[in-house]
Structure 1
Amino acid sequence: MQIKHLLLMIISLGTSLSLRGQHQEIHSAPHLWKGKKSVAEDSTSLLFAFKHGKVHGNLRYFFMATENQDHLTDAHANAMGGGLFYETAAFKGFQMGVGGYFIYNMGSSDMTHVDKYTQTVSRYETSLFDLADLANKHDLDRLEELYLKYNFTKSSHVSVGKQLINTPFINLQDGRMRPTEVGGIYGELFPGKKNKLEGGYLYEISPRGTVDWYGIGESIGIYPNGTNVNGTKGNYKGNIESKGVYLMGYTHQLPRGNSLKLWNVFVENVFNTSMVQWDIKQQHWVAGIQYTQQQAVNEGGNEDPTKTYFAPSQKSRVISAKIGYENTQWKTSFNYTRITAEGRYLMPREWGRDPFYTFMPRERNEGFGDVNAYVGKVNYSFSEVPLKASLSYGYFQLPDVKNYALNKYGLPSYTQLNIDLSYEFVDFLEGLELQALYVHKANQGETYQNEKYIINKVNMSNYNLILNFHF
């Protein structure tokens, strides 16, 4: 059944109101549809559960433009879409959820256009539509959620099927039109008031910027493959074998708002990643430290070194830290991340964004080793109006672009400035949210007079305007 037909069927089941913004922090619950919780009690009638379910909808407009230096190709995109989500009330602890989304490409630049100086296409705008088929303008719909959930208690549950999760390494990612979705078995348990245990097994993923569902190995490589450690072109797309992802996370709440997090992600036949994170809060002062390590499993996905994802000769270690000051209106922090020179930090970009404290939207440090990153962040919430403003600035010291063993994507060292404003309307326009994001990246490294190291990477500006209406 086509997604549009499915959505028409869902809308007849009921309506409700909610609102959601563009960007979501990794450790927060992935409630992409506000008001998604259902409060109906069990009944002896299955029909009662369906008639007392909740429907939530979203209309979204996204304008994005990238301005490159000199004669290098610029790009712009106008995307508009909408979707519906339905979840039944509980019936003997069980609930069912289903949701889908469609997108229209409205007056955008040609996503298949190749820059004549660098032989590259648009980097950012393409992910608003379908990265697997850049010419696709019409078949942009996706069945996003289709799951069966069992609630052990009011908060503990396990879900089977297509669903949203938000973890340090597999997450919704920062905003485009739609997030990364996963298929599998995933649960959250709360043994005691201070403990949270979550995890499961994933067998399929629908990456952000795509409309299809892929097996785990198949999903690795839809985004650009970069280079192998010896400098040859990456060639792991369609060549990775994996039966699935096993992930487990534990969070323990310590006194006075402190917390300890432990995570492990095992990608069968490809790699394993472990992380420990300690967040500290003392009155208005906050701090955190995070340690991550990785190593290949077997041959990293393929016994042919020219087709593997994680070279067995490499491993990675990452230390990230922050210190800051927070009150009801201000949130400030200084953040630092060090990726050692033992190898590249690798995590499929199709699956999520970096969990490091130094993360800034529109760039990441995945694919790099021997990195020093320094980022300052300031967030302010206005008291008189529902307006939030964020300013962040970072310096990212990366290996030379020709050091292929530690620089997968040929990105030079750079500085980055982000300015982010968001406004939630009230009264007559309640349900509408406006967000504007400006990003500028400036080159700080050697590019060897080769513009492929510049286009869509440095000496560029990226403009974003997003309108969301949730109902």
Structure 2
Amino acid sequence: MRRIIFFYVVWSFFNIGTIAQGIHAHHEVEKDTNTLNHFFKKGRFYGHARSYMSATVNEGVLSDYHAWGIGAGIGYQTPMFFKHFEVGLSGFFMFNLKSSDLEKVDEKTNFQNRYEVGLFDIERPNDHEDLDRLEELFVKSHLGKKSNLTVGRQIPLTPFINPQDGRMRPTLVEAAVLELKEWKYLNLHAEYIWRISPRSTVRWFETGESIGIYPVGVGIDGKPSAYKGHIESEGIGIVGLNFQKNHWSLQFWNTYVENILNTRMSKIEWKSKTIGNKNWFLGGQIIQQNTIGNGGNEDPTKAYAQKNSGSNVFSGRVGQQATRFDWYLNGTRITAKGRYLMPREWGRETFYTFLPRERNEGFGDLTAITVNTYFKPEKHIKLELSGGYFQLPDVKNFALNKYGMPTYSQVNLGITYQFDKYLKGLNALLLVVRKDEIGETYQNDRFIFNKVNMTHLNLIINYHY
């Protein structure tokens, strides 16, 4: 029913001009360019259709899973009016065409599915049809030549809160976002977020309420975390600075989650002059984090972050970029000061060592080394082969290992094809992920299931129009 109402509203919005024009048609002699119909025709329609097939093959008798979801959405952005304003509106619906029983727990571990459930609504794993969301609804005000203020529902584009496009639909935020781009080399970004709709959901949540929708791991005492539904926060404030000149790029970001966490990131990147279609690349990040207020709740057992805690992260990259082949060597170190925390519901990690389908959030005393290679044999095809070694604390070191993840290796193989001509806008991605244990698991399948000794496959087809 909500889907029918949504598309009726969209249809009415787009056709109000036609209705108004019909009422006054008998007064027209020549084409009237002042009608609402003419105004809306000058706007921009856009849409997205998506098919996502996912499967996970676990070790031995541990449960395997599969799912196939499809969906489509439509959006519209008005032309500028009153010289400064635009309005945007979009929505998306999806269906679970076929899947395993995503609520069924594995008999040996008593754990539920991890990956496939995220294609749909993680709160209602076996709801196959009633999956729709009003995604964008914003007003954009243009300030100066390049600056703007956007208020309402929109796609987040910051290092720690971002779309994380690894399921059917991305993370979205309800926020006020200010972009100042009037200077030649310097851009400023400021935003305040008061509600979030994480990927793998169709609802909108208050800031604190959105933390804990995904699996919560264990507390520093080894007992299951109890912060879900108990976090208090007034919202998120973000300030960013981006300076680019010649071959250098500098970024500074501060993400303040009221009553929970403050995270600061400094990032510097250098790209050499291109010679013979090749250039060198260097990058470095420093991330410092500390608890704010009571970490989300006065009761430490229900807090997301413990009082007086924090973490330090260092990440670096060196590589070479070319017309047909890119490679990067990356390293990340999370010190033993404490767990690096950032709600997984909000976005993917910004570390250079990040490999799709796994995170290093929730860990301290971590060392990661990865290699990325990208080969473009022709303009329509891109091949990726990436691999990494991730050394983590012992799975029973609860203070530094939130999710009971052993030291592991990971290899990703990706093939992307971009269609052209009559199929322009269509692209397909095949991603195969293999993860294997290296660290001790104590013959306990709870440290293996959906974590290591597994193969994960994705076939994703997108059409943007």
* Same-fold status (TM-score > 0.5): yes
TM-score, normalised with respect to structure 1: 0.91
- The residue aligned with 1:298 is 293
What's the CA shift for 1:298?
1.3
- Normalised by the size of structure 2, how large is the TM-score? 0.92
CA contact (8 A) 1:10 1:84 kept: no
Q: What's the counterpart of residue 455 of structure 1?
A: 449
Q: Which residue of 1 aligns with 2:400?
A: 406
Structure 2 counterpart of 1:376 = 371
**Local SS of the residue matching 2:302:** coil
Counterpart Cα distance in 1 of 2:164 and 2:464? 19
The answer to whether the Cα contact below 8 Å between 1:368 and 1:407 also exists between their aligned partners in 2 is yes
Would you say the 8 A contact 2:144–2:182 is kept in 1? no
The alpha-carbon distance between structure 1 residues 253 and 81, as it changes in their structure 2 partners (threshold 3 A), is: same
Which of 428, 432, 447 is the aligned partner of 1:434? Answer: 428
Q: Which has the higher contact order (CA 8 A, sep 6+)?
A: 1
Q: Are 1:183 and 2:170 matched, yes or no?
A: no
The match for 1:87 is 77
What CA distance in whole angstroms lies between the structure 2 residues aligned with 1:86 and 1:9? 12
8 A Cα contact 1:7 1:84, kept in partner: no
Query: Which position in structure 2 is the counterpart of 1:277?
Result: 267
Give yes or no for the alignment of 1:342 onto 2:337: yes
| 2:440 counterpart (428, 436, 446) | 446
1:363 aligns with 2:395: no
Tell me whether 1:124 sits opposite 2:115 in the alignment.
yes
Q: Provide the C-alpha distance between the structure 1 equivalents of 2:136 and 2:173, rounded to a whole number of angstroms.
A: 9
1:418-467 CA distance string (max 9 Å, x none): 01111111123222211100000000111111101001000000000011
Unaligned stretches of 5+ residues in structure 1 = 16-42
1:12-61, CA deviations, whole angstroms, 9 ceiling, x for partnerless residues? 8779xxxxxxxxxxxxxxxxxxxxxxxxxxx9876654331111111111
**In structure 1, how many angstroms separate the alpha carbons of the residues matched to 2:287 and 2:39?**
43
Task: Give RMSD over aligned pairs.
Answer: 1.7
Correspondence list, 1:248-327, <5 A: 248-256=239-247, 258-283=248-273, 284-327=279-322
Closer, same or farther in 2 for the Cα pair 1:44/1:229, shift >3 Å?
farther
> Is the 1:290–1:319 contact (alpha carbons within 8 Å) kept by the matching residues of 2?
yes
CA contact (8 A) 2:145 2:182 kept: no
**Secondary structure of the structure 1 residue equivalent to 2:118:** helix
CA distance in 1, matches of 2:251, 2:282: 14
Q: How does 1:158-197 map to 2 (within 5 A)?
A: 158-197=149-188
Contact kept? 1:314, 1:343, Cα under 8 Å: yes
Alpha-carbon deviation of 1:136? 2.1
**What percent of counterpart residues are identical?**
47
CA distance in structure 1 between the partners assigned to 2:256 and 2:394 by the alignment: 30
Between the aligned partners of 2:34 and 2:151, the Cα distance in structure 1 is 23
Q: CA deviation at 1:9?
A: 4.9
Aligned length: 442
Q: Secondary structure at the match of 1:106?
A: strand
Instruction: Verify the 8 A CA contact 1:60 1:81 in the aligned structure 2.
Output: yes
Q: Partner of 1:127: helix, strand, or coil?
A: helix
Is the partner of 2:409 in helix, strand or coil?
Answer: strand
Partners in 1 of 2:406 and 2:4 — Cα distance? 43
Runs of at least 5 residues in structure 2 that lack an aligned partner in the other structure: 16-32, 274-278
Query: Which 10-residue stretch deviates more, 78-87 or 154-163?
Result: 154-163
SS at match of 2:7: helix
Whether the 8 Å contact between 1:208 and 1:350 is mirrored in structure 2 is yes
Which protein has the larger Cα radius of gyration, Structure 1 or Structure 2? Answer: 2
Q: Residue 301 of structure 2: SS of its match in structure 1?
A: coil
Write the mapping of 1:42-191 to structure 2, written as runs, cut at 5 A: 48-91=38-81, 92-191=83-182
